[in-house]
Every structure is written in structure tokens, then in C-alpha cells.
Chains A and B, each alone.
Chain A
Amino acid sequence: MREFAYARARSVDAAVALVADNPGARYLGGGTNLVDLMKLGVERPDLLVDVTGLPMHEVTEDGDTLHVGALVRNSDLAAHPLVRERYPVLSQAVLAGASGQLRNVATTGGNLVQRTRCGYFTDATKPCNKRMPGSGCPAIEGEHHNLAILGASDHCVATHPSDLAVALAALDARVGVQDLAGPQEIPLADFYRPVGDRPDLELTVRDGALVTGVALPPLPAGARSAYRKVRERASYAFAIGSVAAVLKVDDGRVRDVRIALGAVASHPWRARVAERALVDAPATPPAFEAAAEAELAAARPLRDNAYKVPLIRNLVVAVLSELVGDR
């Protein structure tokens, strides 16, 4: 690991001043991903700015919006009474990820900016366009059974590993960030950049911007939400496919639906084609299946991950059917 200096930030402004426009600096939250990447030589910061002392640890209500501070630990988020009551999909998604030990340390903000677990990205001896722009993407012809089927490019087929962020995508969450220009709030859907030819550029915010929290708008009255994840062992594994959904049904018809897919793209994939297909459609498995098929028409699977197409289709049908059947 490269040597680095360590500083504890006394304020958000001070933290941003230390990291903004300093490509060698990184914020340290829980560190569960960053410290690992430093051990692997993928991240080589010369300065860590520890932000865990900043006042971003609370879950607070502001009218009908719930604000989650960036430093709220995964385990506290999943167990929070208001989160469990209002946003079951979020609690379920967090609990579907990692382990008890990791959830006790990992933060809400860190989760959003964690890096892909693509084996070529995490192996510093291999080419990788995300880690070393222009070096190539061995995953396209190599080991890619758990990589992207949607939105990828000839430059990168990595997936975003988060469960939490998939739920946030379905919840129309907004991400609070602060940079030298001040604080701002942007929709989660606009927080991640499409892959294109610069997979090293993952976020739309400026380098050195600090995630300060997440804002959750209320769900439509009568809407229900759920998260389901498929993985290669029963627990403590990344998804090979996941679905977060919010559904409101009235008189047997879909009145409001939001669907986000995990482990299929470089960022949580909002299934807007499927959503549009379902507005005012009958809330039935055939309609759900047709909507999922419409979304997945854009899928471009690789040699070894075409299984994800029917897997996601079936997950969408299962989660939406469960949300109908539960009432």
C-alpha cells in the first residue's frame, strides 16, 4: 500500500477544501471498500480525509421527506423504524447486502460511490479501462458471467455492486452533495454517468464532491415496495440480479410503478420502458412479463451472461406479483 497522510475533517467545508481539486485525496467513511482497494493497489491516495466525525449521522424527517445522513451506517439504516415502516424496499435491500460486520461499518454515502467488483478492475496487474483509461477491457472476451447486460459499451461492461442504491433508484431518491460551489441535491438517476467511452468517469458530480446524504420522498398513498435479490449462495454474496419495485394498484390496474434493476449495468438501472408499459395496465403476471420483456429488448448480453435476461424478467414478474398478492 502506498504511504498516505491522514486528516480528520472538522467541518464539511474543511473536508471539501482538502479533497476538491486534489486528485490524490480521498474521503474516508467506513472504508470497507476503499481500504480494500488500497490494499489491492487499485486506489493509491496520498491523503485520506476522515469524514466520520462530521454531523451526517442522523435520519431526520422534514415534512414528508426522510433525510438520511451520508454517515448513517447500513445496519442503522436497515433497522430504523421509519425506514422499515415507509420504505421496506430499502431496509430489505440493505439487509440483502454484505455481512453484519460490514453493515456495522459501511455508510450510506460510501455505498453509493463504491466501485465495481469486476475482477479485472480489482486486479491491478490487468488492463482495465475504468482503472487505466485506454488499456482495454479483458472482461468482454474473458470472465464476465456476472457483468452487465444493459447500458454497457465496447469500453466497459462492469456492474455497480450496490443493493442499497437499487432501492434508492426505485424510491426516486435525491443525493445531497457538496463541492467548492456549495451544496446541491440531484436525483439519483442523474448521479451516475452512462458508461460511454470514459468508464473511469462514474459520477456526474465534480471530482472531490462529498456525498452528504440522501433524501427520500414519500411513496404514493397505498403504494407498496419490495426488494428481491438472486445470488450464487444463500447469503453474503453480490447479486447476479436484483429488483427493487414500488407498486400501487387500484381496481386491479397499475396506478404507479417504479422498477430498478441491480447487477445488470454500471449503475442502478431504472426500468422506465417497463414502467411506461405498465401505466394503467392490468396488474397481472402476463402484463408484468410483457413489460419486463419490453425493457430487456435493449439487453446486449455477452457470451456467458445471457442467463441474466430471463432471470431479470422472472424477478420482475415475481416481485410485482408479490406486491399485488400481498394486499
Chain B
Amino acid sequence: MTVPELDSTVRLMLNGAPREVVVDNRTTLLDLLRDRLDHTGTKKGCDHGQCGACTVLVDGRRANSCLLLAVAVDGREVTTVEGLADDEPHPLQAAFVAHDAFQCGYCTPGQICSAIGMLDELAEGWPSAVTADGRPPSLDDAEIRERMAGNICRCGAYPNIVAAIREVAGGD
């Protein structure tokens, strides 16, 4: 009987740069980013998929990095808050500053990554629980709040988070 391999080699594109690392199979993507790849912008909140602080984009889609095993994202593209700005802040980053869309800031990287993924989902025409049947969704405040429900802000900065997203989305 062979000894089972408890480690794996993971290759991924992190914010456009190829990375290769050997991980204990138990490692989550969140812990890989923070503890092994020095990308501490992504935050660990609840570590159980209930708060959204760890939200990143995997192949362009938002996901909770605390519930993804690093071995399971081998070969994928991961974008974190560190990968959003080029010379200038990403428009959502600028809007969060302009609208004071945070207090302590701990949930902010997850909020911004989630909002980017959410706006792409909207552009694809995906419905939400508050979208009327058969109608293309429009980004009113009820849609923003429902679609961002996976990101908790314990400081309660929600009104300004909604305003920041609304400004970038070009809503009313």
C-alpha cells in the first residue's frame, strides 16, 4: 500500500502573475493567499462562508475563498483586491472612498470584489430573488442590496456601500 499524498502542487494565476506552490491539502484558498503568497488584502472574517469578507474572483466569478480548497483552484485565475487597481484605483475603490462606504474597513476588500462580480452577473442578465419574472434586471437599490447580501458589514455602512455601487453602475 502506498502512502497517500497529503500535499499537492497548486499552480494558479494570481492577479495576472503565475504562481506555483506546494500546499497541505487542507489549505483553503484564503489561507494560501494570506499566509503563503503574502496577499493579506483578502480578509478572514467568519471562515465559514457566512460573512463575505474573503470574497475574491475565481475565473472572473465572485466566490468565498474560505470555502475553496487551494488544491481545487489549481489552474484557475484568481483576482484579489490587490489586483484591481492599475495606475489609478479601480472605479469601485474610488467610489468607496468618495462615498465613505466603510468604517473599520475590514469587510471592504470583500465588498469591492463582490460588487465587481455582481455587476458582471447583472450585465449577463442574471436574475436575483427580487427581479420580476421574465424581466431583465435593472440596478435599483433593492437589487443592489439583495445581490450584495453575501457581504456583511458589522459597522453598518450599507447605505454608503449601496451609493458607491450605484454610482459605478450608473444607476439612479
Contact = CB atoms under 8 A, between A and B. Distances in A.
Chain A complexes with chain B: yes
Interface of A: 1, 3-6, 28, 31-32, 35-36, 38-39, 46-48, 50, 52, 75, 78-79, 84, 88, 91-92, 95-96, 98-102, 104-105, 234-236
A5 B5 contact: yes
A28 B118 contact: no
Given A35-B28, A95-B127, A236-B150, A101 B55 contact: yes
B150 A99 contact: yes
Contacts of B68: 31, 35, 105
Q: Is the interface of B mostly helix, strand, loop or mixed?
A: loop
Interface stretch (B35-43, B59-67, B86-94, B100-108): B59-67
Given A101-B64, A102-B150, A6 B71 contact: yes
Contacts of A36: 48-49, 67
Nearest to A233: B149
Interface of B: 4-6, 8, 24-26, 28, 47-49, 52, 55, 61-64, 67-69, 71-72, 114, 117-118, 121, 124-129, 131, 133-134, 145-151
A104 B63 contact: yes
Contacts of B61: 75, 104
Contacts of B64: 32, 101-102, 105
A101 B150 contact: yes
Nearest to A47: B4
Contacts of B25: 3-6, 48
Nearest to A75: B126
Most chain B C-beta atoms within 10 Å of own C-beta, residue among A84, A95, A98: A95
Nearest to A73: B61
A1 B129 CA distance: 35
A96 B125 CA distance: 17
